[in-house]
A and B are shown apart, each in its own frame.
Chain A
Amino acid sequence: MAKNKPEGYLTAKESRKISKENRRITNQFEKQRKRKNVPESEYTTTMHNADNAVEFDDLHTYFFTDAGTVKSVDGVSFEVPIGKTVGVVGESGCGKSVTSLSLMQLIQRPQGQIVEGEIRLNLGDGKAYNIAKTPNEKMMKLRGNYVSMIFQEPMTSLNPVFRIGEQVDEVISLHDEEGKSKEAIKEKTIELLKMVGIANSEGVYQMYPHELSGGMRQRVMIAMALACSPRIIIADEPTTALDVTIQAQILDLLRHLKDKINSSIMLITHDLGVIAEMADYVVVMYAGRVVEKGTVREIFSNPCHPYTIGLMASKPVVGKQVDRLYSIPGKVPNPVNMPDYCYYKDRCEMCVERCTGEYPGEISLSPTHKVSCYRFYDGKGEK
């Protein structure tokens, strides 16, 4: 009896073959990474534009799993200018978080590897590092001081067995190079807690995470992220787990603090309302690729990629009555076997003839507004 094999079914033999091949590839990467005393010249680069805090250039981050290679991030390029907020939008699984984790070098190794591309981090004074090649010991100095991250779930990302004070102290003592005394660190922590709007900061210093509400915990996370005045803050869905009223408070706080320490924010979210309110630039991702990017005005007043249009139409908006919500047909393609044509083609309602061709390149609609869609090719086919 021939049983219908579901899509993506692998025999044990095939799976073993993939595992073996994966090990070969990841071992190569790991060997590269584990070298000692890597010369600095190997990972020093120059920024293409000195006004950018971070430049992602054709980043590819793959996961070598036993079911096949998952191309989580497949050629992502965008910039985060100094002092600006860049919003990254997309559905879950589209690679937004992996992009940000690549910047922190927090990808689960050895399965996850940055296989290609550069992430240039501006260190100031014309110096820049390519994060993709920076060795671990250097990376530890960059995290916290130059890049830091606010994680999605404040409930799970604080350690439940340590007091709030200890956890924030740890960040400061690890990353602050001045070698402060214990008292000075405590003072700094309390000052930070005050800065993020915790009124009873001395009391909270002594508390455990479970004694705080979700909004308060998120404030502590923000305090930890800002402890060493990083140049770039990655906020990975900072308000998704919070109520609207608390969300408004946290967004206000982030905006205010960003101006205070003059850093850039990379805001990852799926809430277009939050993006409209916070971001200067928007990057829309779909299935590991950037499908559209531009300033917030360009994206909201003139969305060009069918996915962006669909995303905007599918969210109900207060004050706008529609009888039926638009829902994007179909689902995201299987990340193991991506098609070789436009990834959105099977769900797209605006297909043109050329869509059967290979994945469309990026088209500039204005100096800042770029879209990857054949609808805007007028015979030029520029990259």
Chain B
Amino acid sequence: MADVNTIKKEFTPVTYDPQYILMVNELKKHFPIKSGMVARTIGHVKAVDGVTFNLRRGTTMGLVGESGCGKTTTGRTILRLSGEKTGGQVLFNGKEVYDLSNKEMRAMRTKMQIIFQDPFSSLSPRLPVGEIIGEAVREHGLAAKGEFDDYIDRIMDHCGLQPFHKDRYPHEFSGGQRQRICIARALALNPEFVVCDEPVSALDVSIQAQIINLLKDLQEKYKLTYLFISHDLSVVEHISDTVGVMYLGNLVEYGDTKDIFNNPLHPYTKALFSAIPIPDPDAKMNRIVLEGSIPSPANPPSGCKFHTRCANCMAKCKEVAPEQKEIEPGHYVVCHLYDDV
């Protein structure tokens, strides 16, 4: 465990800035690979390897990247859902999430919620919908006993569900309605911050639009802050105020949605955006096709992790890992191409 201790010291702590609801600084999450009879640790999968961003109150940040790049782990690590972090800081409203005691954490949980990807497996098939939504409300004592039913009805109404749905079971609902149940479950606790982990990727296009509109409406109504994880770039562009692009556990580019989409700087972002199919048969395709697939996060390439697939690879990229650099105000990129700018 020696390497873990050294990693812990490798960042400069940030101080709390009240305009940000969430400050993530050099967050790291490594999973041990165990092997052999005595389950010796033979290496680490570096799922999240130094992610830094700040999230302003009431805004949405999109997190995009290929599967396996650590988007979901980032979301879960921020919520302290996957054990201890390996390094870095997560400040939620100025408090380090990982320093809270169990009791404090329990109270904090109502403030930060998650909507999972697959509405078909994230709902208990044995509980009626009213109980799925209300369980945590009762547990945290958010509504008085007499008002409990009204409270649930109101939440369900806001999420587009009817009161008579309360006694039904999840299998009686379609995909879109199940996702509404998941949203209602998260919102019932009156959170400030919601991690949406690919909430629309399992849904049809027309249902997708309904859910995205619902999420936007609820954001206005409850002044929510979202971390929106998705691999669908068009959805992310539509819903987000800022976007972070992840590659192999690192945030390679981060900035306002407009800046990122109009002026992508990192070669990976450029390739990713050029791969989006445009629904116009006359559109000109200027596609940058990335060769090969994403390298193993257990044994990432040296230097810049993207250098094995990068079209602009230089000698320096193979040895020295680039630093995060602010190119325009609020637009950060991690690439040696911009060292001199």
Q: Are A316 and B235 in contact (CB under 8 A)?
A: yes
Residue B308 interfacial (CB < 8 Å): no
Please, how many angstroms separate the alpha-carbon atoms of A48 and B261 in the complex? Answer: 49
Chain B CB count within 10 A is highest, among A317, A322, A325, for A325
Q: Is the CB of B279 within 8 A of A276?
A: yes
Residue contact A300 to B238, C-beta cutoff 8 Å: no
Q: Is the CB of B281 within 8 A of A300?
A: yes
Inter-chain contact A315/B261, CB cutoff 8 Å: no
The reply to whether B204 and A276 contact each other, CB–CB distance below 8 Å, is no
Q: Which of the segments A21-29, A37-45, A222-230, A247-255 contacts the partner chain?
A: A247-255
B310 sits at the interface (CB 8 A): no
- Which residues on B sit within 8 Å (CB–CB) of A246? 66, 293
Using a Cβ–Cβ cut-off of 8 Å, how many residues does chain A contribute to the interface with B? 42
A245 touches B238 (CB 8 A): no
Give the docked Cα–Cα distance between A325 and B217 (Å).
12
Complex: how many Å from CA A315 to CA B238?
10
Q: Mark B204-229, 1 if CB is under 8 A from A, else 0.
A: 11101110110010000000000000
Residues facing B in A266-311 (CB within 8 A) are 270-277, 296-297, 300, 310-311
Given A244-B231, A314-B209, A325-B238, A270 contacting B204 (CB threshold 8 A): yes
Q: Report if B127 contacts A (CB, 8 A).
A: no
B206 → A minimal CB distance (Å): 4
Kindly specify which of B24-32, B148-156, B267-275 makes contact with the partner chain: B267-275
**A12 interface contact, C-beta 8 A:** no
A350: CB under 8 A from chain B?
A: no
- List residues 193-243 of chain A with CB under 8 A from any CB of chain B: 213-216, 243
Residue-wise interface mask of B (231-245) relative to A, using a CB-CB cutoff of 8 A (1 in contact, 0 not): 101110110000000
Chain A residue at minimal CB-CB distance from B282: A297
Judged by a CB distance under 8 angstroms, whether A32 is at the interface is no
Interface of A is mostly: helix
Q: How far is the CB of A314 from chain B (nearest CB, A)?
A: 4
Q: A311-B206, A319-B261 are in contact. Are A272 and B237 (CB under 8 A)?
A: no
Taking CB atoms, residues of chain B closer than 8 Å to A271 are 277
B327 CB contacts on chain A under 8 angstroms? none
The yes or no answer to B285 lying at the interface (CB within 8 A) is yes
Complex: chain A residue closest to B262, CB-CB: A319
CB proximity of B246 to chain A, nearest CB, Å: 12
Which one of B233, B272, B279, B289 lies within 8 Å of A272 (CB-CB)? B279
For the complex, give the distance between the alpha carbons of A327 and B209 in Å.
5
Listed residue (A213, A274, A314, A324) with the most chain B CB atoms within 10 angstroms of its CB: A314
The chain B residues found within 8 Å of chain A, CB to CB, are: 66-67, 174, 204-206, 208-210, 212-213, 216, 231, 233-235, 237-238, 261, 271-283, 285, 287, 289-290, 293
- Please name the 6 residue pairs, one residue from A and one from B, whose CB atoms are nearest each other, closest first: A273-B277, A316-B238, A314-B209, A327-B209, A248-B275, A325-B209
Known: A248-B277, A252-B289. 6 other contacts (CB 8 A): A245-B289, A270-B204, A277-B285, A310-B206, A318-B261, A327-B206
Can you offer 13 A-B residue contacts whose CB atoms are under 8 A?
A92-B204, A215-B293, A244-B66, A245-B271, A246-B66, A248-B274, A275-B279, A276-B283, A314-B209, A317-B234, A317-B279, A325-B213, A331-B174
